[in-house]
Chain A
């Protein structure tokens, strides 16, 4: 099972995305976001990016999702929608699950899957080696490069986040 761990984690990833995009109440959406965040962290870690995976847990789940959870708890309704409470939500969820199951069976059965990318059956999902990176880890070098060569990216993303806050305040302020 460990050779195909990335494949299993990816399937759980997609299933949790189906879970919140079938639009239950935001509280339950946040619940599957936690699951998908944790599983995404696992996928990144399997490619050798332990720092970035733990960043997902810390910042995404532990910072942003916690704030999201508190705000939806303040704005929640008396009977929030679950996946089985509404026919539409349940229908969309089951449809998404069905499509995912069919895709998984297609990948498992056939030699080669050529939907948009070609990858040869299950072989491509197993990680044998993460490429010849020498003595240093690529992802830590990437994070270091962000703050040295990529200073412009830091400036642009920092400004985008700042303007995002300004925009949200402006939109929700009303008249």
Chain B
């Protein structure tokens, strides 16, 4: 793509999300979502093959439906409250419709079907933007309407997302689909605590974005999109292999890595609000997630995965230089001792 046009379109994606996060008028928020959607389509379609076109079409259709539902919820809210300001949505019908629309944008169950298919059809960098930056805008709106969200619907969607994200990722060998199911599960964790303590949602979002960014950068560095291809990195850059191990275990939520911090805080917050069964179920279902991360680490870092002899030397084009990879890796694995700093957030 022409670099000038690519920069313009990328800046428009940023501008769309910024407009969503900073507007006080519901209509401007909707315009921001549409600008975001429109501008990310050519980024998803960077390579012109039928797979990317199909993935972009699926993304466009689901997100446009979600925007239409959002507009309907905005208008119902306007009808019943007479104003366009962003506050909690007082009318329960509008609140339910808006929650469903934002769940469709995030990829929560039962609207999760597009996430693996779209992520698989696009390149690794586009998938990175899709799974990290695109989650910021809907989550910011959920944060702003969080006092009025129907608890039953949101918690059902959250728990089902954790289940689907864990279960669905079990049979995958393609790395992009694994990251997609991991995204579904993490979104479930984030929305589970939204009604109780939205600050923890933001904390989880921050740590999730860091870890997903790190994972995608490691995949881009080793140019691998399948488990088999990832298992050959020990030959080329053994250090990257070790870092894949650490980051994957951090994503699985194991202490003493930083991925444990959001899960710990969320479970603590849920138990403070006298729900015991729910965090227990959530923690048990996070084990499914951990299983397929550990299978990746097993095949990549801990064993020499079986392959034919002519595949043992991994060939690729020149090594990509990824800026900020070391700080990202450090941040996504060593942040746990900083947990007491969270007290400044109140």
Contacts and interface: CB of A to CB of B under 8 A. Distances in A.
Interface in B291-311: none
A153 B28 CA distance: 8
Task: Tell which of B19, B34, B42, B48 has the most Cβ of chain A within 10 Å.
Answer: B42
Contacts of B9: 163, 166-167, 170
Contacts of A141: none
A171 B45 contact: yes
A137 interface: no
Interface string B23-54: 00001100110110011011001001000000
Contacts of B12: 159, 163
B76 A156 contact: no
B28 A167 contact: no
Interface residues of B, number: 23
Chief secondary structure at chain B's binding surface: helix
B28 A116 contact: no
Nearest to A164: B38
A21 interface: no
Task: Tell which of A152, A157, A163, A175 has the most Cβ of chain B within 10 Å.
Answer: A163
A160 interface: yes
Given A166-B8, A166-B9, A157 B31 contact: yes
A159 B8 CA distance: 11
B235 interface: no
B48 A156 contact: no
A175 B28 CA distance: 34
Nearest to B80: A117
B324 interface: no
Interface of B: 1, 5, 8-9, 12, 15, 19, 27-28, 31-32, 34-35, 38-39, 41-42, 45, 48, 56, 76, 79, 93
Query: Closest 9 interchain pairs by CB?
Result: A170-B42, A175-B48, A163-B12, A160-B35, A167-B42, A167-B38, A163-B39, A174-B48, A171-B42
